[in-house]
Amino acid sequence: AQTVTQSQPEMSVQEAETVTLSCTYDTSESDYYLFWYKQPPSRQMILVIRQEAYKQQNATENRFSVNFQKAAKSFSLKISDSQLGDAAMYFCASQPYGKLTFGQGTILTVHP
Amino acid sequence: EAGVTQFPSHSVIEKGQTVTLRCDPISGHDNLYWYRRVMGKEIKFLLHFVKESKQDESGMPNNRFLAERTGGTYSTLKVQPAELEDSGVYFCASSQRTGSSYNEQFFGPGTRLTVL
């Protein structure tokens, strides 16, 4: 069974600063994917970044990067140079195949 | 290209009534998923269609929930009779079906269901 845990219900950051959102997971699969999704208020959930478990190199997408620690089953998201538009609920998710297993979500507030 | 759409955006019903939620996936996407987020908890998988066939329905909570995808296009999720604990946001997602083990899932805006 897959489990994903986000231990930070809420986080806040000042505009232009850096923030890290935590995520741990558990899986018995040897091959899987990990994701961070973003859901802005009253808007659709969109994919921020994904990581293939077999790749050692951490994924990056512009200001978004991950710290993937496979042995520790940790998958944190770092947002650099935070912008007001980054304010949203962030979900960590895992996927061996097909369905996604989500964490509880972290609400990120960005202060101007 | 139109994204995943869901109807209605909100639904408020009395306990014991029936509600039908609809999802229109992105055109050409064979995979269709239903998820649910009960207030304050994580988003949970309900079921997965490949075209019109149910690939995985392990997340369906009980037999009050019925999902269909006739013709492999849009899908409906019927709750009958609705109970208080069914309240939450129901998400639909779709993805292409390719030979890869990974296909990005695109989400709809969700339907917020409130059972009174």
The per-residue pLDDT for range A21-72, each reduced to its tens digit, is 999 999 988 889 999 999 998 788 999 999 999 888 999 999 999 999 999 9
The answer to whether B109 touches B6, Cβ cutoff 8 Å, is yes
What is the nearest CA distance from B9 to chain A, expressed in angstroms? 10
Q: How far apart are CA A76 and CA A88, in angstroms?
A: 16
Q: What angle do CA B47, A43, A27 make, to 5 degrees?
A: 40
* Mean pLDDT in consecutive groups of 10 residues from the start of chain B, 116 residues: 91 97 95 92 94 94 94 94 96 86 88 96
> What's the distance, Cα to Cα, between the start and end of chain B in Å?
37
Place of tokens 């990581």: A51
Considering all CA atoms of chain A, what is the largest pairwise distance in Å, rounded to the nearest integer? 42
Place of tokens 């964490």: A103
> Which of B3, B48, B109 lies closest to A99 in CB terms?
B48
Q: How far apart are CA A78 and CA A75, in angstroms?
A: 10
In chain A, which residues touch B (CB < 8 A)?
Answer: 4, 31, 33, 37, 43-47, 50, 52, 91, 95, 97-105
Mutate to test the interface with A, among B10, B37, B43, B107 (most CBs of A within 10 A): B43
